[in-house]
Amino acid sequence: MALIAVAADKGAPGVTTACLALAAVWPRPVLLAECDPAGGDLACRLPAAGGGQLDPGRGLLSLAVAGRRGIGPGQILEHTQKLSGGLDVLAGVVTAEQGAGLELLWGPAGAALAQLPGLDVIADCGRIGADGPHYDLLASAATVVLVTRDTLAEVVRLRERITAVTAALTARHRNVPVAVVVVAGHRRFHAAIAEVGRALGGVAGSGLAERGAPGLAGGPGGASRVVGGLAYDPPSAEALRGAWGGRLNRSLLIRTARDLAGRLAAPLTTAVATPAGRR
């Protein structure tokens, strides 16, 4: 259905937490894919269905071996696992050394994930740097989501990263919208989102109050849409490591994630519902 690539610049917080929270409340069937070339920690961080740990050898690594002659959407689900609670995940590499060996995988894997029948994919792409093979995966995304805090240093870096990401995607002949999500404390939640939106020269959404936001729009030179925010809520973020519970469901992190998921998924639903001749 659609691939949502979530990433951050150097020093920015919580890409994995953001992806877990979004996947937990995503309004359509979803797969969480760990696509961080520097290595991820889902295999040791989260419990598998039925107890125990995820198999770190089953995921991107096994997909790379099986797909030496090409990767199709139908192969992806053969390498996924289930977390406790039922969420499907595609485990990534554990170390940067493993990631370096998958340079030729990112493009085909991104294309296959974007065409997965019946499932949206939220891809945890970690902290992205200069243009390279990993951007081939971003080029298949319906939206690239960049996570940031509202500090001056991070916003300044984010402006440069948006420009670099847009240029890398344009070089691949892809016009992929770049959206921004702001992680902020509850006391300044709405103000922080608005301030980052103004600093980026884009359109700021409230993250909670506004409903029915229009489709995502990105542009060159840092003009990117701030679609909303996620609450900075360390206790709830830590609780995502374990089993889902009613208390977590009522947390500010999950409440803001649910609103954000609706905003990100709405254009995807509209695209599916719009006849091809009217686009």
> What is the rounded average pLDDT for all residues in the chain?
83
159-187 pLDDT tens trace = 889 999 999 999 999 999 999 999 999 99
CATH number at residue 84: 3.40.50.300
Within a domain: 104: yes
Within a domain: 279: no
224 pLDDT band, cuts 50/70/90, is low
pLDDT (average), residues 90-119: 89
Of 19-33, 65-79, 210-224, highest mean pLDDT:
19-33
Within a domain: 66: yes
Q: How many other CB atoms are found less than 10 A from the CB of residue 183?
A: 27
Residue 156 pLDDT > 50: yes
Are the C-beta atoms of residues 136 and 169 closer than 8 Å to each other? no
Distance of alpha carbon 206 from alpha carbon 222, whole angstroms? 19
- Higher-pLDDT residue of 94 and 115 is 115
* Both tokens assigned to 106: 């990112």
58-103 pLDDT tens trace = 999 899 888 777 888 888 999 999 988 788 999 988 888 888 888 8
Within a domain: 277: no
Are the C-beta atoms of residues 207 and 228 closer than 8 Å to each other? yes
Within a domain: 33: yes
Range of the domain at 195: 3-271
Which secondary-structure segment (H or E) carries 63?
Answer: helix 60-66
Within a domain: 276: no
Quote the pLDDT of residue 30.
96
Residue 29 pLDDT > 50: yes
Residue 275 pLDDT > 80: no
Structural domain total, the chain: 1
Give the residue among 114, 122, 132, 128 at the shortest CA–CA distance from 168: 132
Within a domain: 203: yes
